[in-house]
Amino acid sequence: MNNNAENLSLNDHDRLAIVGVVNFEHEGESKSRWTTIGTAFQNKDGSFNLRFEYMPVTAATVQIRPFAKRDSD
């Protein structure tokens, strides 16, 4: 497998958020806390490089999703 920098496609189209989702109960209600914990970059061959800024230490579901668009107010 070739791991050089040429294989990394870094445009926004291929960049995804890595989020950690923790489920919990608050006042008898089920809730979820979503925290962005890194970024995923898609390579030319369809595989992904994952760059974590944080690692979940509790039981969390890790998802890879498109970044949410922010309002430009």
Domain residue limits, the chain: 12-66
| Chain centre to alpha carbon of residue 10 | 15
Q: Where are the beta strands (DSSP E) in 1-73?
A: 15-26, 29-42, 48-52, 61-66
Phi, psi for residue 4 in degrees, rounded to 5: -80, 165
The pTM of this model reads: 0.67
Q: What does the chain come to in residues? A: 73
pLDDT single digits (tens) 13-54: 678 999 999 999 999 999 999 999 999 998 889 899 999 998
Burial of 20 (C-beta count, 10 Å sphere; 0-12/13-18/19+): buried
